[in-house]
Amino acid sequence: MNEKKNSPLFFSGGIYSAEALRLAAAVFSARGGVRLTAAKGGTEAALSGGINPGEFANEALNQQCRIDLSARNSRLSGIIVTKALLSASGSSKKGGK
């Protein structure tokens, strides 16, 4: 089988977290190998098994966006859940009625 050798992809540490890259690597684990190594200023990803570099980079970006969105919305989510639980229990913080 003629396997194409890709040069490692570099992901800036200021944009991509290690967690996002590990999650992206897990998505592609069934299709081939992804080896992540620390590099100056970020992380390098070496792909094998026919993984398309563009698809991997896109998945890494998707994972990072999910992480960022979750961090921004966690307080709001907590407020919504608290209000839903109070409403379901029949409690009300408003007085008088």
**pLDDT at position 89 over 70:** yes
* Mean of pLDDT values over 59-66: 97
Tokens 């008088």 sit at which residue?
96
Percent residues over pLDDT 70 in the chain: 87
Q: Where are the domains of the chain?
A: 9-85
**What would the two tokens of residue 33 be?**
């190998």
The three-class DSSP label of residue 46 is strand
DSSP for residue 53 = H
**What would the two tokens of residue 74 be?**
């966690």
**pLDDT at position 1 over 50:** no
- Alpha-carbon distance 82 to 69, whole Å? 20
User: Which residues, at least 6 apart from 85, have a Cβ–Cβ distance to it below 8 Å?
Assistant: none
**pLDDT at position 86 over 60:** yes
95 — pLDDT class (breaks 50, 70, 90):
low
**pLDDT at position 2 over 60:** no
Helices 53-89 and 18-27, axial angle in degrees (round to 10): 110
Please tell me the least confidently modeled range out of 22-26, 32-36, 91-95: 91-95
Tokens 């999650």 sit at which residue?
23
- Alpha-carbon distance 66 to 72, whole Å? 10
- Alpha-carbon distance 42 to 19, whole Å? 12
